Amino acid sequence: MQLTTPPSVSPKSARPSRIPAHLRGPARIGLLGGLTVTLIAVSLLAAGRGQVPISPAEVAGSLLHRLGLDLGPLPSAAQGENALWLVRFPRVTLAVVVGASLGCAGALMQGVFGNPLAEPGVVGVSSGAAVGAAASIVSGITVFGIWTTAAAAFAGGILTTMMVYAMSRANGRTEVVTLVLTGVAVNATAGALLGLLMFLTDDDGVRAIAFWQLGSLAQATWGAVAVAAPCAAVGLAVAAFSARRLDLLALGEAPARHLGVDTERLRVTAIVATALLTASAVAFTGIISFVGLVVPHLIRMVAGPGHRVLIPASALGGAVVVVLGDLIARTAIDYQELPLGVLTAVVGGPAFFWLLRRTRSKAGGWG
Amino acid sequence: MRASGVEVTLGGRKVVDGVDLHADPGEVVALVGPNGAGKSTLLAALAGDLPTPGRIEIAGRELRSYKKADLARERAVLPQRSALSFPFTAGEVVRMGRAPWAGRPEAAEDDEAVAEAMRRTEVTGFAARPFQALSGGEQARVALARVLAQRTPLLLLDEPTAALDLRHQELVLMVARERAGAGAAVVVVLHDLGLAAAYADRVSVLAAGRVRAEGRPAEVFTEELLTEVYQHDVEVLPHPRTGTPLVVPRRP
């Protein structure tokens, strides 16, 4: 799918030795730097907003003091330190982890499926992970302690990813229509299983599962961060490490193999990494959809499709979106909290429509 | 490259049945034959895409014993059709051909190899345009440039001229000859027998998965053989100036 049409370069006017991969290098590094700065700024802002207002400078000051640096002002508000360290920081940190996981999982999945519409939420991997997690909540099994829910989400995620992959591929490609319909089927099945689990469980279980389906960061704790962050880190590292090979995979399975890529192994590692990322995103917050669809798409429009920039930039962009989204979700209405998953779906749903139409017209039909 | 007893069974049918083929450095070998003769399947087997009970050696080493990354530095493959899932530019696609050399001393030649391959296939002007926005013929040449940029001693080309106009067909086979002149072995699937006669050192005529004839084009391209293989009356005439065989279907 072609996303950007550069100023029409006629063959004669183009400089002969112009090879864009190199010329655009510094600009791409600039994008990563810009996203990092934005993420830090948005995080400081988000940590300061809430029932106890704290200025970004005081937030930074509080952080620096904990790091042993006597710089910047400390929060002046009563209970400011506690509000930051017990409530806001775990929440913002988890938002960063979840957002980075979702953005990166989207980019990774799109690369492996060779399809710009692949995304954990759309193809049903998030729902699959949610079923796993809900099953662990309902059954009350705690074999892995605090890790149990994450492990169950991972198991559900990896099973669904493999299923979707096996069902939606034909001749080494995934067609848009097959992928989306597979997602519909998987989401329907997962929805039914979630409904069944809700029926089987008690009131607390119902509330826990409903929370899952809506998606929210309200239950963020340092414990949750401690479980989600390592999963996300491993997934992000694998994705970044696979970036170059994902570029080659865009040529198709056989040509990538001819260029020395072990496509079988790449596929398996990418599927495991996607499931890890989805599990880390879903385990404590439920289903937050469309972040993995929209963010990589925007990055591709700006920086081109090369995965070496796309993957880290999607992770950073996803983190920015989720931190901002969560800030809006908890501050838009006084004393009430919008579910974050609902908020992202309100924005992401129409974006998905638009992408679907674009893909369709570009491919000259459902290709 | 040496292959013997290559057999491929697809869907219960022997598509390639006991084929022997070799291509030495400096040689262009053309695979010709009617549709469904097994040319592309044979090429896929030589590329290592399909399992075969036969023996295939590349640079004196059994194909199966290669790691994929090592093999990518020995042989490059041009597929019949090129697809691309994301809007990479033509320049980026050609650069992908350098991937097997990443992290090796040869990576220093990357820029030069890409620029040369694009110059030879006359696609330098498209470098900044998205591959998917190019015409079929332009895409085919960009794909060839990617394969040339890989700089391997063995080239397997599956119908590189299919989407091209007359001038670019000549250009592509001239490039193939040039690579052979520089010491590469080139195996190329062709439909145009005139092109095969003009540019190949040897031709291998395939029919129903077997080699029907093999040798210099002037020896192999006879009216009897081609008429039988293509099941159509064929005339073979020497070119009045060069003497190269011209193959034309007999028309009323």
Confidence of residue A174 (pLDDT cuts 50, 70, 90): low
pLDDT at A185 over 80: yes
- Is A14 close to B133, i.e. CB distance below 8 A? no
Q: What's the token pair of residue B186? A: 């080139």
pLDDT at A143 over 80: no
Percent of chain A with pLDDT over 70: 89
Range A195-211 average pLDDT: 85
Residue A26 forms part of a structural domain: no
Question: Which tops the pLDDT comparison, A170 or B75?
Answer: B75
Is A287 within 8 Å of A344 (Cβ atoms)? no
pLDDT at B1: 92
pTM of the model as a whole: 0.88
Residue A108 φ then ψ, to 5°: -65, -45
Question: Which tops the pLDDT comparison, A128 or A366?
Answer: A128
Beta bridge partners of B28: B186
Please give, rounded to a whole number of angstroms, the shortest distance from the CA of B32 to a CA of chain A: 23
Q: If residue B47 lies in a helix (H) or strand (E), which one and from where to where?
A: helix B39-47
- Is B86 close to A260, i.e. CB distance below 8 A? no
For B168-225, how does the pLDDT look when each residue is reduced to its tens digit (9 = 90+)?
Answer: 999 999 999 999 999 999 999 999 999 999 999 999 999 999 999 999 999 999 999 9
Residue A87 forms part of a structural domain: yes
Question: Which tops the pLDDT comparison, A359 or A281?
Answer: A281
Please give, rounded to a whole number of angstroms, the shortest distance from the CA of B238 to a CA of chain A: 39
The CATH number of residue A246's host domain is 1.10.3470.10
Lowest mean pLDDT among A11-15, A64-68, A332-336, B216-220: A11-15
Long-range contacts of A168-171 (CB under 8 A, 24+ apart): A168/A113, A168/A123, A169/A113
Rounded CA-CA distance A236/A315 in Å is 8
Residue A121 forms part of a structural domain: yes
Opening angle at CA A52, ends A48 and A58, nearest 5: 40
Residue A6 forms part of a structural domain: no
Highest mean pLDDT among A20-24, A154-158, A332-336, B4-8: B4-8
Pick from B49, B99, B132: which is nearest to A254 by CB?
A: B49
pLDDT at A253: 87
The one-letter amino acid code at B49 reads D
Rounded CA-CA distance A107/A105 in Å is 6
Residue A55 forms part of a structural domain: no
Percent of chain A with pLDDT over 90: 38
- Rounded to 10 degrees, what is the CA torsion of A99, A241, A155, A110? 60
Number of H helices, E strands in chain B: 9, 12
pLDDT at A17: 37
Q: Which residues of chain B have pLDDT under 50?
A: none
A301 and chain B in contact, CB less than 8 A: no
pLDDT at A361: 63
Rounded CA-CA distance B5/B203 in Å is 18
pLDDT at A6 over 50: no
Q: Which residues of A51-79 are buried (b: 16+ CB within 10 A; e: fewer)?
A: ebebbbebbbbbbeeeeeeeeeeebeeee
Q: What's the token pair of residue B98? A: 């350098």
A14 Cβ contact partners less than 8 Å away, ≥ 6 residues apart = B124, B125, B126, B127, B128
pLDDT at A20: 42
Please give, rounded to a whole number of angstroms, the shortest distance from the CA of B64 to a CA of chain A: 14
Beta bridge partners of A170: A173
Pick from B49, B87, B115: which is nearest to A4 by CB?
A: B87
Mutate to test the interface with A, among B68, B70, B84, B86 (most CBs of A within 10 A): B86
Q: Tokens 């279907």 correspond to what residue?
A: B249
Mutate to test the interface with A, among B40, B67, B70, B85 (most CBs of A within 10 A): B85
Q: ipTM of the assembly?
A: 0.94
| Residue A187, domain extent | 81-362
Range A79-104 average pLDDT: 93
Rounded CA-CA distance B210/B204 in Å is 10
Rounded CA-CA distance B250/B233 in Å is 5
Three-state DSSP at A15 gives coil
Q: Tokens 């192999």 correspond to what residue?
A: B220
- Is B96 close to A248, i.e. CB distance below 8 A? yes
Helices (H), chain A: 20-23, 25-48, 56-66, 80-82, 89-113, 120-123, 125-139, 148-168, 176-200, 203-214, 222-249, 253-258, 263-282, 291-303, 307-331, 340-362
Question: Which tops the pLDDT comparison, A280 or B33?
Answer: B33
Range A202-217 average pLDDT: 84
Rounded CA-CA distance A302/A28 in Å is 9
- Is A6 close to B97, i.e. CB distance below 8 A? no
Is A136 within 8 Å of A152 (Cβ atoms)? yes
Residue A49 forms part of a structural domain: no
Beta bridge partners of B189: B31, B158
Three-state DSSP at B51 gives coil
For A30-41, how does the pLDDT look when each residue is reduced to its tens digit (9 = 90+)?
Answer: 899 999 999 999
Question: Which tops the pLDDT comparison, B2 or A72?
Answer: B2
Residue B242 φ then ψ, to 5°: -95, -20
Q: How many residues does chain B have?
A: 252
A9 and chain B in contact, CB less than 8 A: yes
Three-state DSSP at B89 gives strand
Rounded CA-CA distance A314/A305 in Å is 11
Residue A28 forms part of a structural domain: no
First to last CA, chain B: 43
Residue A166 forms part of a structural domain: yes
- The total of structural domains in chain A comes to 1
Rounded CA-CA distance B144/B150 in Å is 10
Rounded CA-CA distance A162/B65 in Å is 30
From A197, A210, A190, A186, select the one nearest A135 (Cα to Cα). Answer: A197
Crossing angle between the packed helical segments A25-48 and A291-303, to the nearest 10 degrees: 140
